């Protein structure tokens, strides 16, 4: 089955700096890669996703890149703000299926 590794487990940045979270996956058939943000006590919220036929996708301060050859994808947050502080989860879904496999999560802290 699919295995998703996520790094780092914690990340602390200064407000205004960029943050990068990286994930690798094992199943070359995986074709959909969402990112979720989970604030304390809240539900995971989808913030951006990318499919395997695209190398990069941007939405305002958030971008995701995908390298299918290396089987890794990354979340990039620019101009970080205190409200970006949360746990971020990457996930992958294998082609032909609907099972999401989640990474272990990254606790992002944006300091003033």
Partner 1 sequence: SAVISQKPSRDICQRGTSLTIQCQVDSQVTMMFWYRQQPGQSLTLIATANQGSEATYESGFVIDKFPISRPNLTFSTLTVSNMSPEDSSIYLCSVDLRGSTDTQYFGPGTRLTVL
Q: Which of 48, 93, 108, 110 binds partner 1 (CB under 8 A)?
A: 93
Q: How far is the CB of 102 from partner 1 (least distance, A)?
A: 5
Q: How far is the CB of 83 from partner 1 (least distance, A)?
A: 19
Among 24, 89, 108, 110, binds partner 1 (CB under 8 A): 89
State whether residue 99 is helix, strand or coil.
coil
Q: Which is nearer to partner 1, 62 or 78 (CB)?
A: 62
- Write each residue from 13 to 42 as x if it is in contact with partner 1 (CB under 8 A), else as -, in one continuous string: -------------------x-x-x-----x
User: Of 19-27, 55-63, 72-80, 99-107, which part binds partner 1 (CB under 8 A)?
Assistant: 99-107
Phi-psi region of 11 (alpha: psi -120 to 50; beta: other; left: phi over 0): beta
Long-range contacts, 12-15 (Cβ 8 Å, 24+): 12/108, 12/109, 12/111, 13/80, 13/108, 13/109, 13/110, 13/111, 14/80, 14/110, 14/111, 15/80, 15/81, 15/82, 15/110, 15/111, 15/112
Which residues lie near partner 1 (CB under 8 A)? 1, 32, 34, 36, 42-46, 49, 89, 93, 98-105
């Amino acid at each position: 089955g699919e295995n998703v590794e996520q790094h780092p487990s914690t990340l602390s940045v200064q407000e205004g700096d960029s943050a990068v979270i990286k994930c690798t996956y094992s199943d070359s058939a995986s074709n959909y890669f969402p990112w979720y943000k989970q604030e304390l006590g809240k539900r995971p919220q989808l913030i951006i996703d990318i499919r395997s036929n695209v190398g990069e996708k941007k939405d305002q301060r958030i971008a995701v890149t995908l390298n299918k050859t290396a089987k890794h994808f990354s979340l990039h947050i620019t101009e970080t703000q205190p409200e970006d502080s949360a746990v971020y989860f990457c996930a992958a879904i294998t082609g032909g299926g609907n099972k999401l496999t989640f990474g272990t999560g990254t606790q992002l802290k944006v300091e003033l």
